[in-house]
Amino acid sequence: MLRCRDGTLYTGATNDLERRLATHGRGKGAAYTRARLPVTLVWSEPAEDRSAALRREAALKRLSRTEKLRLVRPARARSQARPRG
């Protein structure tokens, strides 16, 4: 998942994350990100195969913005938000 310059989030699937990030960074990625450069990687996770990756991408796209932001929040912030007891 990428955070765009305007604060929006872009979700995609790839089998070569570094290459895909470089492509987006050069303005050669998706039209959505080309108009919102620069982009920053804020979330990635491995998938068993392309089919699983595409299913997960679809599931992530169905999340609300609030749910996506909760997912990409840094681990430290997540641990501080948990109730202690």
- Per-residue pLDDT tens for 70-84? 999 875 555 555 554
Q: What percent of the chain has pLDDT over 90?
A: 85
Task: Indicate the pTM of the whole model.
Answer: 0.82
Mean pLDDT estimate for the chain: 90
- The whole-angstrom separation of Cα 5 and Cα 27 is 13
34 Cα distance to chain centroid: 16
pLDDT tens profile 1-13: 999 999 999 999 9
Mean pLDDT of 41-66: 96
Nearest 5°: phi and psi at 84?
A: -100, 150
The one-letter amino acid at 32: Y
Q: What is the pLDDT of residue 76?
A: 56
Q: Which domains does the chain have, with CATH numbers?
A: 2-81 (3.40.1440)
